[in-house]
Structure 1
């Protein structure tokens, strides 16, 4: 009898839910049973704020150690928590189709973020979200919080906080139930999110069996991989941690890759941003609705011709996406982004 494949996952309700989704898909593709192997990560036991933990892979390192040691066969990560440097001997075998990449503000009565009164208590542990929230409403009282989705929602429901900011994809993967609370979706044009937000990464060992690797590869979505490659390349070139105040979002539609990247001061007072639209080969667009990009002070706006280096056939769509991300990061650095971003050498 063939042994089941072992999927390493964090123990949180969200991690287990999204891992089970992947497990079911891999089981269908491979014809083998897939069992979940819960693993404790540093981020699950270290209660320091994300701004203190920085980009050290605290949600990934323990899982990767278990994978390298052979205690599991593959992993499922929330891509936004994954450092950009790929460990030797491990590979990202698949990036399934992306879900909603937006953030949402959850309140008791549906008051929009910009209309919350002075001193309203808003909870988030993300330096990027803190900077964006203060930029949209500098009167807010930001509370640096940790915890799972349910515990954060409970703090709003119980009146301890007036609002929390969460990832739309996480709420969706947990069934979308808010227990009577109200959610305001924040448009990506004005509120770009963490590189890779809404995406999952399926990681395995480079020497895993060919049949297993082929089964994992069936989950891969090229448009999603291209978009998150552009986003994460920006973060890598900026040498910023995966919880730095950097917002990026890329999408592909009608043969164009559009990338928006913004670097924020920690207090939200300043930002430097860039938009790039570059022609790439037509592929299926990611399943997230397109939003208009509005003119915005502090942004550079550029359009690639599609006939130059950006569109050259030098390795395909993913290589092109990486180059677009590198160029966007280079121009952000030229405009002073290094003065705003805490540098990390371990992303």
Structure 2
């Protein structure tokens, strides 16, 4: 990245250190934020690559805990002062506020929807229909949320599907399709777009078919709470509608007492242009898709109140049983 020339006091300051995971997607996301911060502050920004537990573990996210496995090492570095700020995929953040850190900015959200990369350029309905005549379509994902909704959709259409648990970066996952091992994989559209690979998607899945993870498509910029000058500067990246939307989604997730590996989908969108009214849609389901609780709520209330209120209705309607221990 090439920041603008620094002048005056900014030219005398050392580069800001931005902590990032090592994956191609994390580096691309962090590079975007680094460029934006350089333009805001006039200071250079250097990327500091940090390996997280989620990056080195080969176990399924649900088995290693899901929540925080891509975040803890970055937060430790922030608290230790070895980096100045960090960029996370917001859907990876635990809902509990960390002591000593502040969410300084939630930049403008990318497309929050999921994408299908399938063989022969097929859409999901086409893939399932063709599979019904031969063998069930084999579709890979590491997300219980995607599995739950994919299985529920296949059941609603009376078509077979086989969901396959996978891990790995975008290249690895798409490689399963290119090699013929899988018929398709489900990925976040935002990640594909940030890597310049959205053209490889054969279908962007509407939220009516598959609700995204809470916070999907959004980034989180964190720094030490005590570094008020940096926090103020980073706040220039904040997008108020995006922050309101993800606040509602994450408040619902917290009220359900669910982690990022739980089968929970949620999406908040403005109800009308130039209005503070938000519509929040959410889903909790079993991974096999046999049972789903799906509801929505609309309001002008504070975003966190909207999320908590919808979660309470869903728990009362049976989501508590689907969440198992998480809902107790």
User: Same fold judged by TM-score > 0.5?
Assistant: yes
Q: CA deviation at 1:111?
A: 2.1
Q: Which moved more, 1:156-165 or 1:112-121?
A: 112-121
Alignment of 1:200-215 (within 5 A): 200-210=219-229, 212-215=230-233
Partners of 1:84 and 1:236 within 8 A in 2: yes
Distance 2:100 2:54 in 1: 23
Alignment of 1:1-347 (within 5 A): 1-115=12-126, 116=128, 117=131, 118-138=135-155, 139-176=160-197, 181-210=200-229, 212-252=230-270, 253-254=272-273, 255=275, 256-278=277-299, 280=300, 310=301, 320-344=302-326
The structure-2 alpha-carbon separation of the partners of 1:141 and 1:56, relative to structure 1 and needing over 3 Å to count, comes to: same
Partners of 1:41 and 1:58 within 8 A in 2: yes
Q: CA deviation at 1:190?
A: 2.7
Q: CA deviation at 1:209?
A: 4.2
Q: Which runs of 5+ in 1 are unaligned?
A: 281-309, 311-319
Distance 1:43 1:343 in 2: 23
Q: Which moved more, 1:324-333 or 1:269-278?
A: 269-278
The list of structure 1 runs, each at least 4 consecutive aligned residues, that deviate by more than 2 angstroms after superposition, is: 53-56, 342-345
* 3-state SS, counterpart of residue 211 of structure 2: coil
* 3-state SS, counterpart of residue 273 of structure 1: strand
Distance 2:308 2:231 in 1: 29
Query: What residue number does 2:6 align with?
Result: none
Q: Which moved more, 1:239-248 or 1:252-261?
A: 252-261
Distance 2:201 2:46 in 1: 35
Distance 1:24 1:344 in 2: 39
* 3-state SS, counterpart of residue 147 of structure 1: coil
Distance 2:324 2:40 in 1: 42
Partners of 1:6 and 1:35 within 8 A in 2: yes
Distance 1:244 1:126 in 2: 8
Distance 1:87 1:123 in 2: 33
Q: CA deviation at 1:42?
A: 0.5
Partners of 2:150 and 2:210 within 8 A in 1: no
The Cα offsets for residues 190-209 of structure 1, whole Å up to 9 and x where unpaired, read as 31110000000001110014
Partners of 2:298 and 2:306 within 8 A in 1: no
* 3-state SS, counterpart of residue 223 of structure 1: helix
Aligned positions, number = 303
Q: CA deviation at 1:140?
A: 1.2
* 3-state SS, counterpart of residue 137 of structure 1: helix
Distance 1:339 1:45 in 2: 33
Query: What residue number does 1:304 align with?
Result: none
Q: CA deviation at 1:87?
A: 1.1
Q: Which moved more, 1:96-105 or 1:269-278?
A: 269-278
Distance 1:226 1:53 in 2: 30
Output the TM-score relative to the length of structure 1. 0.85
Partners of 2:20 and 2:87 within 8 A in 1: yes
Give the structure with the larger helix fraction.
Answer: 2
The structure-2 alpha-carbon separation of the partners of 1:110 and 1:342, relative to structure 1 and needing over 3 Å to count, comes to: farther
Distance 1:194 1:39 in 2: 24
Output the TM-score relative to the length of structure 2. 0.89
Distance 2:297 2:18 in 1: 37
Q: CA deviation at 1:182?
A: 4.5
